[in-house]
Structure 1
Amino acid sequence: MAAVYDRLGELLTIILMAIALGMDAFSLGIGIGMRGVRWGEMLRIGVLVAFFHLLMPLVGVVAGQYAGEILGGLAKYVSGSLLVLLGGHMIWNSLFGKDEQAVDYRSFLGILLFSLSVSVDSFSVGVSLGMSRSSLLLTVIAFGLVGGMMSILGLLFGRGVGERLGEYGEAAGGAILLAFGLIFIF
């Protein structure tokens, strides 16, 4: 019975982390959605965000597993510290960062840069999860699906909602990652 609870705990942790990482895509999607975006563009953005949210943690988990072998017992402290730093950085950016877009989000290059930029955080989380021996397949699928869905939801939500919520969305995602980092450390 304890194994079932451990598995459910791992699943819940991965889903909450996927949502936290997807908040970045959601909040930026709100900003883009407020400028007006077509259904086809939403789908392209969502698919590319899902792809990068799948690819980046996959690469991160592989790198994290390698680092975990090297670091041994220190791996959980390093992985927790990475999550704390990443969460703090997301909170800092949401409160003090500037929200400027220099690239046309409707072009392929713009969609590619947007998708990659909201997925870079997934690499760091993948490294942390790789060091903690989480399920690779479950992690990358959850991150990909949730990241893609959150970007599309942000684009849809952005059509009718003010810009302020987007800033708070990234801060909320950062707070979740920071909390999980502290749990890993302690």
Structure 2
Amino acid sequence: MNPVALVFLALAMSTDAFAAAIGKGSSLHKPRFIEALRTGLIFGVIEAITPMIGWAIGHAATRWVENWDHWIAFTLLVALGLHMIWNGVKHEAEEEEKPQQHSFMILAVTAVATSIDALAVGVGLAFVNVNILVAAAAIGLATMTMVTLGVMLGRVLGHLVGKRAEIVGGVVLMLVGATILYEHLSA
């Protein structure tokens, strides 16, 4: 995977966490940077681990699907992109109750929920030539940065930007999938 695609993948993987972080930040009274960084670290570590787990699962299945690997990666990324876009445009029926503070467990559960797509991306990455440690580190660092910024911006921006970020992330994921397919078919 070329470095530009890797950067876009890492940013796309962090957009749902960014959207969640804006919500978390908007639910706190003037969050401090240390709380934002703590939240970013929790999300970043979890988001870095999940693609490695997915990669291990996908790598175990590589020999059975080698001729179709590029189509699998493309399909997974497009499906995840469409799912992110759908989540970005659907209307929430009810507003979440705002907590007074965020415990480690609540942040970890939220981070796991937003990293399920990274697990699926990890499965797709097993079928392309990519260093999973570099990809996971890039995804984790991008997520940590985006979540830290998201918490700090949350008190100002609220939910307005969160949904749009998820839509952009979905489009980027679909473009990364199309790039993988194009690179394989044109080789």
TM class by shorter-chain length? 0.7 to 0.9
Identity among equivalent positions (%) equals: 29
Q: Judging changes above 3 Å, is the alpha-carbon distance between structure 1 residues 116 and 62 closer, same or farther for their aligned structure 2 residues?
A: same
Query: Quick one: distance in 1 between partners of 2:124 and 2:138?
Result: 16
> Which amino acid in the other structure matches residue 142 of structure 2?
V
2:44 is equivalent to residue 56 of structure 1? no
Find out whether 1:76 has 2:70 as its counterpart. yes
Q: Give the TM-score normalised by structure 2.
A: 0.87
Larger mean Cα displacement after TM superposition, 15-24 or 39-48: 39-48
**Secondary structure, aligned partner of 1:159:** helix
What one-letter code is carried by the residue in structure 1 that aligns with 2:40? G
Render the CA deviation track for 1:119-148: whole Å, top value 9, x for unaligned: 111111111111112112211110111111
Instruction: Give 1:29 deviation, angstroms.
Output: 1.1
2:110 corresponds to 1:114: yes
| Equivalent residues of 1:91, 1:175 under 8 A apart | yes
User: What SS does the aligned partner of 2:163 have?
Assistant: helix
CA distance in structure 2 between the partners assigned to 1:174 and 1:141 by the alignment: 20
Determine if the alignment matches structure 1 residue 95 to structure 2 residue 112: no
The C-alpha deviation readout for 1:143-183, integer Å capped at 9, x for no partner, is 11111111001111112224211110000000100122223
Q: Deviations over 1:70-116 (max 9, x none)?
A: 20110110111000000000000110152754684612221111111
Partner of 1:184: 180
Q: Distance in 2 between matches of 1:49 and 1:142?
A: 13
Structure 1 unmatched ranges of 5 or more: 1-8
Pairing 1:1-186 to 2, within 5 Å after superposition: 10-36=2-28, 37-96=31-90, 98=92, 100-101=95-96, 104=99, 106-186=102-182
Question: 1: distance between equivalents of 2:54 and 2:95?
Answer: 28
- Of 171-180 and 100-109, more deviation after overlay is shown by 100-109
- Number of residues paired by the alignment? 178
Aligned amino acid, residue 52 of structure 2:
L
RMSD: 1.9
Letter paired with 1:16: F
SS across alignment from 1:106: coil
| TM-score normalised by L of structure 1 | 0.87
CA contact (8 A) 1:45 1:115 kept: no
Give the secondary-structure state (helix, strand or coil) at the position aligned to 2:151.
Answer: helix
Partner of 1:5 in structure 2?
none
Which one-letter code corresponds to 1:68 in the other structure?
T
